[in-house]
Amino acid sequence: MKSVNQNYEPSEEVLDLLDTFRTMTNDCVRIGLANNASTLKRLSLLCYKELSRYNIVSYYKLHAISRAAGMLASRKKSIMRGVATKDPYAVRPQLVSC
- What digits encode the pLDDT tens for the residues 77-92? 999 999 988 889 888 8
pLDDT at 98: 63
CA distance 78 to 86: 10
Q: What angle do CA 33, 90, 7 make, to 5 degrees?
A: 165
Q: Is the pLDDT of residue 45 over 90?
A: yes
Region 49-65 average pLDDT = 91
pLDDT at 79: 92
Amino acid letter, residue 6: Q
| Rounded percentage of the chain residues whose pLDDT exceeds 70 | 98
